[in-house]
Amino acid sequence: MVRDAAEPMVTSQPRIPVPQAQDPTPPLQRFFGSTVRGGREPNHQRFFRTTHFGDSGRSSALLASLHRSPQGAVITSKGKFMNDQELMANVIDELFWDPKIDSESIAVSANDGVVTLRGSTRSFRQKREAKKAAERVWGAVSVDNQIDVDLMGDQRREDADLRGDVLQALMLDSLVPTTVDASAEYGVVTLTGTVDWQYQRDEADLVAGNLLGVVAIENDIYLADTTPGPADVEDKIKNAFSRNAKLDASALSVTTSDGTVALSGRVHSWDEHDTAIAAAWAAPGVKAVDDLLIVAY
């Protein structure tokens, strides 16, 4: 459904599924061995709110800017003003400038700094790249990615073939554990299973989204419950901020509670913002990251 550009964007809160009893045989072994499971995995209730770095490809606002926090980071600027027309023109130029993107079928609008992308691309990877390009533009508060993935006839895949390709790609990636499974239905790939770290969820999402025939990703992988002491997590994250050349650690604040890390303070770009979020996710036992950061251009 196409939304009016003036309508405020509502970002749903992602959920992590409750662990269910699983076959102890790793999913990749089950697929490439004698057992092949078909069909879509059941949707489980999810209970952890997380900051995620992917893009589901769904037409809803669920992942319109999900790699931002559920609250949405605040944008401020110093001594510079950009109206929506200028922002829209700059986003169009950036899309055209990126050789990975066929921008002919992409329409851009802007309202109070919120950039909306509509139209179609020939792959899910291009849809993601379009969003990244729009986020690089100065003045973009957030990006609502409503682009559809329009596969040509020879790019469409049977569900079983697509699932096989996804599982093979996951198996060949050294960062993705064999506890990750996948199913496919009409080009929508659903990832399930258990991992120990957020980067493993992100890697599985990235790998699956690069494959031909994928139109959307639903990442239902959940994190194993290994929660350390709050003080330990806070100290580790603060030390990571201090080591990182991209971050001003003195401008950032960290608090933790039951595996949830809340970040607040000021950063000076979306790149710095995402670096801080990634550093928080790297701490052991983190289940969710509440992003209260202010991006001050």
What are the structural domains of the chain? 27-41+159-223 (3.30.1340.30), 230-296 (3.30.1340.30)
Compute and round to an integer the Cα radius of gyration of the chain.
Answer: 20
The enclosing H or E element of 289 equals strand 288-296
Sign of the Cα torsion 145, 223, 29, 37 reads negative
Query: Tokens 């089950």 belong to which residue?
Result: 30
Q: Cα–Cα distance between 260 and 245 in angstroms, integer? A: 25
What pLDDT is stored for residue 62 in this prediction?
A: 29
What pLDDT is stored for residue 229 in this prediction?
A: 59
What pLDDT is stored for residue 193 in this prediction?
A: 95
Indicate the length of the chain as a whole number.
Answer: 297
**Tens digit of pLDDT at every position of the chain (297 positions):** 444 544 444 444 444 454 555 555 554 444 444 333 333 333 333 323 233 334 544 333 223 233 334 344 455 555 556 788 999 999 999 999 999 999 999 999 999 888 999 999 999 999 999 999 998 888 888 899 999 999 887 788 899 999 999 999 999 999 999 999 999 999 999 999 999 888 999 999 999 999 999 999 999 998 887 655 556 777 888 888 888 877 888 889 898 888 888 999 988 877 888 889 988 898 888 888 899 988 776
Q: Which two tokens stand for residue 218?
A: 């639903």
Q: What are phi and psi of 252, to 5 degrees?
A: -120, 145
Q: Which two tokens stand for residue 209?
A: 């989204």
The pTM for the full model equals 0.66
What pLDDT is stored for residue 107 in this prediction?
A: 96
Contacts of 238 (CB under 8 A, 6+ apart): 249, 254
Contacts of 132 (CB under 8 A, 6+ apart): none
